[in-house]
């Protein structure tokens, strides 16, 4: 069984990002970039499933400009077998991303498609669910545990108030939550080996899809900043303030 | 479809262990805002198995046209594979389909949207016109204003950004039964476990107590549990504390963890890295206890106490 993992290049979570002062977007021109942390968990899970003998091949795909090849190489260094770069300089919305991935699923016929539950830039939390809909596959979102049982995959999902377990027929789409695993670090020999692994580039236009944006971005602004508060001198004063002034106790 | 049917909104009602979830009242708060910009009939959709009691509560929501109730075996677990094709058909009659941005709403709405070929707007925190909305990106480091001219707007509402509507005493709208969708074979419900902890859930707790690397060891989180028990609080942690192995990943508050907005957030021995601030900046009152006066957490704290946490926290527990 093949596993397809979709990854996104995002600003590294350790970088502080701010909107540009003219409201036209975020100031990220020179920021350090990484694999989206949730996508990295998806890559790790796919590699583990291959190590456990559930999968024969792990394919990673990323959609974006030339630079996403950096993250594809990182995923190859972690243990993915081959990479697909769907080349576009346009910023695609989740629906468009899902359409492209759907076209890839038809080509590659993976048994499992793994994605991060959301990217830490757009924060949409949509692509996996949309892909599952377009494929007509079941979805296991916010997964914290996966287990193969016969022709099904059992997925434990993190809900607001607890955990839910579902049995999904394969092929299925899974989106990963934080608890699923702890991604490994690439070793030096594997980073070297990754340079030799296949990475194919496919222009997005080859799919012949309508990928026009549906949402118009009017402005990007900073949220209301928090007013800096006061220093208290003792625990007693703190409790007093919380009771009398803030009225939260 | 005529224009009159296009000026209606459908709100998918969420349920929790108690039946009608309080989240729905916040979602209706958002709908009230929306109605300042658009004349809308509002229908509520209640789904489930034996969901009559939930529909009875929904019918007390003020200002609605009707409650649609689909009651059936296939809807017992509200699986998205069952719901989405059915909802996509029903939603075609409306100008808006609205849900809460909860794990339920986030799971279902995009699946419906893709089947309708609609790009939804998720995690709406403000409504600025009938077709423009604000939503957070980069875990709240920025707000983006988006406009959609799509014929049907699919929205998920971040509850913490809106105020409750008040339920009426008696039924104010009719409950109209509609037929439930057919079952499907691709997904099956196995089981569900509510969080076993006696403490409230991190995402919905009124008070959150979080520890950082300054806790020094996993055992020391016992101190935070004691404090949390006094305040009926949930306990969280910074990524640094998780990476140091003090506590499991599911306690992480931040850009790569949970985003919380409690009434009171107490950050203890926690420096306030960017990625942590992104996960708690919408809290109403923030308290920081840290022995480093230069810790960035003090810049967002309403009340800062420069002190050794191992002295201050036991004292705090005593005073509560």
* Cβ–Cβ contact B298 with A under 8 A: yes
Q: How far apart are CA A3 and CA A210, in angstroms?
A: 26
DSSP secondary structure code for residue A234 in this structure: S
pLDDT, averaged across chain B: 93
Radius of gyration of chain A (CA): 21
Cα A193 to the center of its chain, rounded Å: 24
Place of tokens 């409504």: B127
pLDDT in tens, B264-279: 999 999 999 888 988 8
Q: Is the predicted pLDDT of residue B5 greater than 60, yes or no?
A: no
- Whether the predicted interface score ipTM is above 0.90: yes
Residue B208 pLDDT: 97
Say if residues A114 and A237 touch (Cβ distance below 8 Å).
no
Cα A59 to the center of its chain, rounded Å: 15
Q: How far apart are CA A95 and CA B99, in angstroms?
A: 18
Q: Is the predicted pLDDT of residue B4 greater than 50, yes or no?
A: no
Cross-chain residue pair A141–B107, CB shorter than 8 Å? yes
Q: How far apart are CA B199 and CA A63, in angstroms?
A: 42
- Residue scoring higher pLDDT (B220 or A225): B220
Over residues A34-43, the mean pLDDT reads 97
Residue B139 pLDDT: 85
Cβ pairs A/B, distance under 8 A: 253
Confidence of residue B2 (pLDDT cuts 50, 70, 90): very low
Say if residues B245 and B303 touch (Cβ distance below 8 Å).
no
Cross-chain residue pair A139–B193, CB shorter than 8 Å? no
pLDDT in tens, B77-127: 999 999 999 999 999 999 999 999 999 999 999 999 999 999 999 999 999
* Cβ–Cβ contact B80 with A under 8 A: yes
Contacts for A205 with CB less than 8 Å, ≥ 6 apart:
none
Q: How far apart are CA A44 and CA A5, in angstroms?
A: 10
Place of tokens 């002062």: A21
pLDDT in tens, A46-60: 999 999 999 999 999
Q: How far apart are CA B14 and CA B37, in angstroms?
A: 25
Residue A214 pLDDT: 98
Phi-psi region for residue B91, left (φ > 0), alpha (ψ -120 to 50) or beta? alpha
A 68-107: CB under 8 A from B:
93-95, 98
CA dihedral B267, B269, B273, B277 (to 10 degrees): 0
Rounded to 5 degrees, what are φ and ψ at A142? 55, 50
Confidence of residue B197 (pLDDT cuts 50, 70, 90): low
A77 CA to chain B: closest CA distance, Å?
A: 22
Q: Which residues of A touch B302 (CB under 8 A)?
A: 226-227, 229-230, 246
A95 to chain B: nearest residue by CA? B119
* Cβ–Cβ contact B132 with A under 8 A: yes
Which stretch of A102-106, A133-137, B257-261 has the lowest confidence by average pLDDT?
A: B257-261
For the four alpha carbons of B128, A95, A174 and A179, in that order, the dihedral sign comes to: negative
Q: Is the predicted pLDDT of residue B71 greater than 60, yes or no?
A: yes
Residue A115 pLDDT: 98
Cα B87 to the center of its chain, rounded Å: 21
Over residues B35-57, the mean pLDDT reads 97
Cross-chain residue pair A16–B274, CB shorter than 8 Å? yes
Token digits for B156?
A: 């998920």
Q: Is the predicted pLDDT of residue A161 greater than 80, yes or no?
A: no
pLDDT in tens, A66-93: 999 999 999 999 999 999 999 999 999 9
pLDDT in tens, B233-275: 999 999 999 889 999 877 889 877 788 889 999 999 999 988 8
Q: Which residues of B touch A142 (CB under 8 A)?
A: 103, 107
Q: Which member of A130, A168, A249 has the closest CB to residue B114?
A: A130
Token digits for A193?
A: 């080996």
Question: Following DSSP, what letter does each residue of chain B receive, concatenated?
Answer: --TTGGGEEEEEPPEETTEE-THHHHHHHHHHHHTTTS--EEEEEEEESS-HHHHHHHTTSTT-SEEEEEE-GGGTT--HHHHHHHHHHHHTT-SEEEEESSHHHHHHHHHHHHHHT---EEEE-EEEETTEEEEEEGGGTEEEEEEE--SSEEEEE-GGGSPPPPPPSS--S-EEEEPPPPP-SSEEEEEEEE---SSPPTTT-SEEEEE-GGG-SGGGHHHHHHHHHHHT-EEEE-HHHHHTTSS-GGGBBSTTSB----SEEEEES----HHHHTTTTT-SEEEEEES-TT-GGGGT-SEEEES-HHHHHHHHHHH-
Contacts for B165 with CB less than 8 Å, ≥ 6 apart:
B25, B28, B29, B32, B61, B62, B63
Strand bridging mode B303-306 / A230-232: parallel
- The H-or-E segment that residue A38 falls in is helix A37-51
- The H-or-E segment that residue A193 falls in is helix A188-194
């Amino acid at each position: 069984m093949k596993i397809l993992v979709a990854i996104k290049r995002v600003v590294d979570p350790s970088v502080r990002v701010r909107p540009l002062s003219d409201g036209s977007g975020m100031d990220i021109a020179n920021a350090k970039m990484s694999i989206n942390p949730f996508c990295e968990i998806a890559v790790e899970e796919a590699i583990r499933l291959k190590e456990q003998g559930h999968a024969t091949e792990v394919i990673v795909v990323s959609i974006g400009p030339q630079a996403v090849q950096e993250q594809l190489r990182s995923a190859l260094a972690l243990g993915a077998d081959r990479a697909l770069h769907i080349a576009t300089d346009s910023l695609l919305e989740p629906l468009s991303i899902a359409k492209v991935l759907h076209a890839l699923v038809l080509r590659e016929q993976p048994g499992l498609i793994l994605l991060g539950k959301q990217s830490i830039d757009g924060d949409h939390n949509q692509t996996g669910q949309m892909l599952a809909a377009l494929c007509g596959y079941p979805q296991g979102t916010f997964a914290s545990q996966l287990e193969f049982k016969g022709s099904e995959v059992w997925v434990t999902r993190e809900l607001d108030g607890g955990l839910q377990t579902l049995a999904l027929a394969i092929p299925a789409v899974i989106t990963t939550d934080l608890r699923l695993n702890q991604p490994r670090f690439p070793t030096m020999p594997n980073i070297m080996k990754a340079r030799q692994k296949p990475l194919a580039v496919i222009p997005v236009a080859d799919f012949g899809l309508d990928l026009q944006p549906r949402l118009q971005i009017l402005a990007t602004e900073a949220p209301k900043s928090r007013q800096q508060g006061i220093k208290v001198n003792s625990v007693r004063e703190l409790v007093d303030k919380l009771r009398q002034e803030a009225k939260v106790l | 479809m005529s224009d009159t049917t296009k000026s209606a909104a459908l709100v998918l009602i969420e349920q929790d262990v108690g039946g009608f979830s309080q989240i729905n009242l916040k979602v209706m708060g958002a709908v009230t805002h929306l109605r300042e910009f658009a004349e809308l009939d509002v229908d509520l959709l209640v789904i489930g198995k034996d969901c009559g009691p939930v529909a009875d509560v929904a019918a007390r929501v003020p200002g609605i046209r009707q409650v649609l109730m689909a009651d059936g075996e296939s809807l017992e677990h509200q699986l998205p594979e069952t719901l989405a094709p059915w909802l996509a058909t029903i939603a075609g009659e409306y100008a808006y389909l609205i849900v809460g941005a909860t794990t339920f709403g986030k799971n279902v709405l995009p699946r419906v949207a893709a089947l309708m070929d609609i790009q939804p707007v998720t995690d709406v925190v403000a409504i600025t016109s009938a077709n423009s909305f604000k939503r957070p990106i980069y875990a709240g480091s920025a707000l983006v204003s988006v406009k959609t001219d799509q014929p049907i707007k699919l929205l998920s509402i971040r509850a913490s950004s809106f105020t409750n509507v008040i339920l009426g005493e008696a039924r104010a709208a009719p409950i109209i039964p509609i037929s439930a969708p057919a079952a499907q074979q691709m997904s099956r419900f196995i089981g569900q476990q509510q969080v076993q902890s006696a403490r409230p859930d991190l995402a919905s707790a009124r008070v959150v107590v979080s520890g950082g690397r300054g806790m020094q060891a996993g055992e020391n989180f016992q101190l935070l549990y004691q404090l949390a028990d006094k305040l009926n609080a949930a306990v969280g942690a910074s990524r640094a504390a998780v990476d140091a192995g003090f506590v499991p990943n599911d306690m992480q508050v931040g850009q790569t963890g949970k985003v919380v907005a409690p009434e009171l957030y107490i950050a203890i021995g926690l420096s306030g890295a960017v990625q942590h601030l992104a996960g708690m900046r919408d809290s109403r009152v923030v308290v920081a206890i840290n022995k480093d006066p230069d810790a960035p957490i003090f810049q967002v704290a309403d009340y800062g106490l420069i002190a050794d946490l191992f002295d201050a926290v036991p004292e705090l527990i005593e005073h509560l």
